[in-house]
Amino acid sequence: MIKPSQFVTTALLGATLALAGCAAPALRGTGDLGVVIERASGTVQIVDTTQLKSIATVPGLGDLSHASLVYSRDGRYAYVFGRDGGLSKVDLLKGVVERRIIQAGNSIGGAVSQDGSLIAAQNYAPGGVKVFKADTLELLADVPAEFGTQGQRSKVVGLADAPGNCFVWSLFDAGEIWVGDFSNPGAPRIDKYRNAGREPYDGMITPDGRYYLAGLFGEDGMAMLDMWHPEKGVRRILDGYGKGQEKLPVYKMPHLRGWAVAGKYAYVPAIGHHEVLVVDTETWKEAGRIAVAGQPVFVMARPDGRQIWVNFAFPDNGSVQVIDVETRSVVKRLEPGRAVLHMEFTPRGESVWISARDDNRVVVYDTVSFAQRVVLPAAAPSGIFFTTRAGRTGF
When asked if residue 25 is in the footprint of a copy of itself (CB under 8 A), the reply is: yes
When asked if residue 98 is in the footprint of a copy of itself (CB under 8 A), the reply is: no
C-alpha–C-alpha distance, residues 14 and 251, integer Å: 37
Task: Return the number of the residue (162 or 380) whose C-beta is nearest a copy of itself.
Answer: 162
When asked if residue 212 is in the footprint of a copy of itself (CB under 8 A), the reply is: no
Cα–Cα distance list, 90 to 26, 32, 45, 72, 220 (Å): 16, 16, 11, 10, 40
**Residues within window 264-283 making contact with a copy of itself, judged by CB under 8 A:** 264, 282
Closest residue by Cα to residue 364 from 45, 59, 51: 51
Are residues 297 and 312 in contact, defined by beta-carbon separation less than 8 angstroms?
yes
Are residues 84 and 62 in contact, defined by beta-carbon separation less than 8 angstroms?
yes
The sign of the CA dihedral 122, 125, 128, 129 is negative
Q: Which segment (75-83, 95-103, 247-255, 334-342) binds a copy of itself by CB under 8 A?
A: 75-83
The sign of the CA dihedral 283, 288, 292, 295 is positive
Are residues 282 and 266 in contact, defined by beta-carbon separation less than 8 angstroms?
no
Residue 21 beta carbon to a copy of itself: minimum distance, rounded to whole angstroms: 17
Closest residue by Cα to residue 88 from 56, 103, 383, 80: 80
Are residues 321 and 314 in contact, defined by beta-carbon separation less than 8 angstroms?
no
Binds a copy of itself by CB under 8 A, chosen from 14, 116, 144, 272: 116
Binds a copy of itself by CB under 8 A, chosen from 136, 263, 370, 372: 263
Task: Return the number of the residue (133 or 338) whose C-beta is nearest a copy of itself.
Answer: 133
Q: Judging by beta carbons within 10 Å of its beta carbon (0-12, 13-18, 19+), is residue 192 exposed, middle or buried? A: middle
Binds a copy of itself by CB under 8 A, chosen from 31, 144, 221, 242: 31
Q: Which segment (20-28, 243-251, 252-260, 374-382) binds a copy of itself by CB under 8 A?
A: 20-28
When asked if residue 30 is in the footprint of a copy of itself (CB under 8 A), the reply is: yes
Task: Return the number of the residue (221 or 347) whose C-beta is nearest a copy of itself.
Answer: 347
Q: Which segment (101-109, 244-252, 262-270, 352-360) binds a copy of itself by CB under 8 A?
A: 262-270
Task: Return the number of the residue (201 or 265) whose C-beta is nearest a copy of itself.
Answer: 265
Residue 379 beta carbon to a copy of itself: minimum distance, rounded to whole angstroms: 26
**Residues within window 219-258 making contact with a copy of itself, judged by CB under 8 A:** 228
When asked if residue 54 is in the footprint of a copy of itself (CB under 8 A), the reply is: no
C-alpha–C-alpha distance, residues 126 and 204, integer Å: 22
Task: Return the number of the residue (173 or 181) whose C-beta is nearest a copy of itself.
Answer: 181
When asked if residue 93 is in the footprint of a copy of itself (CB under 8 A), the reply is: yes
Are residues 154 and 194 in contact, defined by beta-carbon separation less than 8 angstroms?
no
C-alpha–C-alpha distance, residues 71 and 93, integer Å: 13
Task: Return the number of the residue (75 or 200) whose C-beta is nearest a copy of itself.
Answer: 75
**DSSP-assigned letters across all residues of 24-37:** SPPP--STTEEEEE
Per-residue burial over 89-112, b = 16 or more CB atoms within 10 Å of its CB, e = otherwise: bbbbbbbebeebbebbebbbbbbb
Q: Which segment (29-37, 141-149, 272-280, 374-382) binds a copy of itself by CB under 8 A?
A: 29-37
Task: Return the number of the residue (227 or 292) whose C-beta is nearest a copy of itself.
Answer: 227
Asked if omega into 315 is within 30° of 0 (cis), the reply is yes
Binds a copy of itself by CB under 8 A, chosen from 71, 211, 212, 241: 71
**Residues within window 311-350 making contact with a copy of itself, judged by CB under 8 A:** 326, 347-350
Say how many residues touch a copy of itself, by CB under 8 A. Answer: 51
**Helix (H/G/I), strand (E/B), else coil: 7:** helix
Q: Which segment (14-22, 55-63, 151-159, 208-216) binds a copy of itself by CB under 8 A?
A: 208-216
Helices and strands counted in the chain (H then E): 1, 34
Binds a copy of itself by CB under 8 A, chosen from 66, 94, 252, 332: 94
Q: Which segment (161-169, 247-255, 314-322, 336-344) binds a copy of itself by CB under 8 A?
A: 161-169
Residues contributing to the site for a copy of itself (CB under 8 A): 24-25, 27-33, 49-50, 71-77, 92-94, 114-116, 163-165, 208-210, 228, 262-264, 282, 303-306, 326, 347-350, 368, 387-388, 390-393
